[in-house]
Every structure is written in C-alpha cells, then in structure tokens.
Amino acid sequence: MSVIEMSGLRKEFTVRVKVGRLRREKRVVTAVDGIDLRVERGEMLGYIGPNGAGKSTTLKMLTGVLMPSAGEARVCGLRPVAERTRLAMRIGVVFGQRSQLWWDLPLRDSFDLLRHVYRVPAGEHATRLARCRDLLDLDEFLDTPVRQLSLGQRMRGELTAALLHSPEVLFLDEPTIGLDVVSKQAVRGFLAELGRAGDTTLVLTTHDLADIERLCHRLVVIDHGRVVHDGSIAALHSRYGSRRMVVAELDAVLSEPPELPGAPLQRVEADGHRLVFALESATVAEVVAGLAGLATLRDISIVEPDIEEVVARLYRAPVEVGGAAVTGAP
C-alpha cells in the first residue's frame, strides 16, 4: 500500500470579485484540479510549481487542514480530515511560514511541550532530541526564547519539532524560504541524512530548486492545479533537452567560433570573451583541452543543468484549463 494516495483530488474556493462600484460577483477558483498521485514509503518527493499552482493547498489537504472539494486522499491509510488527530500522530509538518514553536519560551520548552502533545515516552524523546541537537547544532540556542532566534535557527528548531514523534511522513512546505546559504545547507544536509535512513517518506514543496536537486529523486511539477510532470529530474532534463554547461572565459577573442565535438557552442557573451558550451557527449576535460589549444583560458566554470529554466519553460507551456488555454505566470 502506498503511504500517500490521491485520486481525483480537487479543491475549489469561492471568491468574491469586485465588478463595478458596488457589485460583487462570486467566482469559483480551482486551486487543485484533479490530482492523482501515489507516493511509496521512503520516497523523497519534490512537489513544485509556480505561485498559486496549488502546492500548499495539496499539502493542506493531505495533512487534514483543508477539506477537499472532491476526490479522495489517504495518508498512512487514513482520511486526513475525518481522522485528523490520528493522522497527526503519524506525520510531521513543517510550514516554512508558520511556526509550531512557542514564541515566548526557550526552544527547549517547545520540544518538551510537543513531547506531551504527541505523548512520546520520555526516553524515546530524549534520544531523538539528542540526535537532532547533534545533527542540527541546536545546543547554542536551545535556551533562547524562540522569538529571539534567527530564521535559520528557528527553522532548525521547526525541523526538530516535526520529527520528535518519529513521523512516517514528513511534509515540508517551503522549508528553506528566506534562509541564508549556510542555513539552507544545514537543512538540506539534515533532510538528506533523514532520507538516507530510508523509512521516512518526505514530501517537499519549494521555490528553491537546489533543494530538489539535492534531495529528491522524484519530481512532481504542478501548474494550475494539475500535474504536468511526474518523474526523475533526469527525465525532466531529457524531456526538455537541458544539459550541463561549460562557461569559458578567454583572454583573447577568437576570430571564429570554436568547434568542439560533443559540446556545441550555445552563446557568446562579453564581446566574445565568454563562451558557453553545452555538454552533450563530451566531458569537461575534453572541452577544456580543446579550448586550451585555441586560446588562453582565464577562467572556467561548470553550470549544472538549469532546472529552474526548464521548469520556467514548463510553466509557460499552455495548459488546458476548463476548455480554455491559459498561460502560466512567467
């Protein structure tokens, strides 16, 4: 049995839109438009899409916060809204923009409170907290009131809070939003460790595709409430023809564009001082060797496949919504 099952999951909101000076019109907005998805135990799923695509709404339906308008969702075999409190015992949730912690109390107190809320035996709780303290370097701010923590520190606290009851599924909604680079690395490193252990299923929504590249083997892209891609990141790249790039900075401008086998020239920038090659069959070493014979290299850098760009292209692709073609936000 899959840990998460969604069939025909829909969520509609009625909004009142101003038309004219006084008149308001009811309009139905479909946030999630019939999603069918299965997630197996231990999978790490990246769930991405542009703003308003329905990512958070899906997560809220899976965690029992929102009632679906139609369709069905099962998490750990439970119906999220009807069996909310039972489900809550078995899942962990981190909302990047809302907190599970007690603002005015030391971080340590929040963990102790959650031990009571989730009825975790003290011994188990202590062991898990010790692991998190170690992996997330919590010790230096464990006695600081949460309101005084930096965003990065708070997020490390949120992650710990979501894991102390040993959930089977961890839902993360924008866990790295607003974090500095170091904190992002810490959070990603921690989640990667968690994934390696293998028994926690992880569902992650994010704007930062580096999160996905680092953590998730499976990528689900949604737009206008529908799944537009479901597969590996590699599959996404091959489907949209994105490749790694080699950017070479040259001292002198070449008289004619260089021909390197297996690495077609993509762009010429900086008045010919910067050349961008796509890696098809050639290796980085071959490109460097080929260029070194032609000119003096000042600098060389490798740009990983720009998933961001691929996804942006995906969003721009027209999607059929309610019979009319609607173009996604750029």
Report in angstroms the alpha-carbon separations of 212 from 48, 136, 150, 203.
9, 20, 24, 10
Which segment (102-110, 213-221, 234-242, 249-257) binds another protein by CB under 8 A?
102-110
Closer CB to another protein, 186 or 221, in the complex: 186
The distance of closest approach from Cβ of residue 188 to another protein in the complex, given in angstroms and rounded to an integer, is 14
Burial class (CB in 10 A: 0-12, 13-18, 19+), 285: exposed
In 20-91, alpha helices (H): 55-62, 84-88
**How far is Cα 48 from Cα 136, in angstroms, rounded to an integer?**
25
Judged by CB under 8 A, the residue of 24, 27, 86, 239 near another protein is 86
**Count of residues that interact with another protein, criterion CB under 8 A:** 57
Query: Does position 18 bind another protein by CB under 8 A?
Result: no
The distance of closest approach from Cβ of residue 52 to another protein in the complex, given in angstroms and rounded to an integer, is 8
Which segment (77-85, 234-242, 246-254, 278-286) binds another protein by CB under 8 A?
77-85
Judged by CB under 8 A, the residue of 25, 40, 199, 304 near another protein is 199
Which segment (92-100, 278-286, 289-297, 307-315) binds another protein by CB under 8 A?
92-100
Judged by CB under 8 A, the residue of 17, 24, 36, 103 near another protein is 103
Residue whose structure tokens are 């040993």: 166
The set of residues, in sequence order, having a beta carbon less than 8 Å from that of 109 and lying 6+ positions away, is 102
Judged by CB under 8 A, the residue of 18, 21, 23, 116 near another protein is 116
The distance of closest approach from Cβ of residue 78 to another protein in the complex, given in angstroms and rounded to an integer, is 12
- Torsion, CA 325, CA 327, CA 328, CA 330, rounded to 10: 170
**How far is Cα 4 from Cα 93, in angstroms, rounded to an integer?**
14
Query: Does position 95 bind another protein by CB under 8 A?
Result: yes
Helix, strand, coil: what percent of the chain each, to 5? 35, 30, 35
Amino acid at 125: H
Helix (H) or strand (E) holding 17: strand 4-18
Closer CB to another protein, 37 or 114, in the complex: 114
**How far is Cα 93 from Cα 167, in angstroms, rounded to an integer?**
9
Q: Which of residues 21-60 bind another protein (CB under 8 A)?
A: 52, 56-57, 60
Query: Does position 312 bind another protein by CB under 8 A?
Result: no
**How far is Cα 278 from Cα 284, in angstroms, rounded to an integer?**
10
Query: Does position 126 bind another protein by CB under 8 A?
Result: yes
Which segment (87-95, 232-240, 242-250, 285-293) binds another protein by CB under 8 A?
87-95
Judged by CB under 8 A, the residue of 1, 18, 26, 85 near another protein is 85
Closer CB to another protein, 15 or 252, in the complex: 15
The distance of closest approach from Cβ of residue 93 to another protein in the complex, given in angstroms and rounded to an integer, is 4
Residue whose structure tokens are 């950017």: 247
3-state secondary structure of 319: strand
**How far is Cα 193 from Cα 58, in angstroms, rounded to an integer?**
26
Residue 91 in tokens: 């899942």
Closer CB to another protein, 30 or 56, in the complex: 56
Query: Does position 65 bind another protein by CB under 8 A?
Result: yes
Report in angstroms the alpha-carbon separations of 47 from 82, 84, 243, 255, 278.
24, 22, 22, 46, 27
Judged by CB under 8 A, the residue of 3, 76, 91, 319 near another protein is 91
Residues that bind another protein (CB under 8 A): 13, 52, 56-57, 60, 63-67, 81, 84-86, 88-89, 91, 93, 95, 97-100, 102-105, 109, 112-113, 116-119, 121-124, 126-128, 131-132, 134-135, 145, 163, 166-167, 173-174, 193-194, 196-197, 199-200
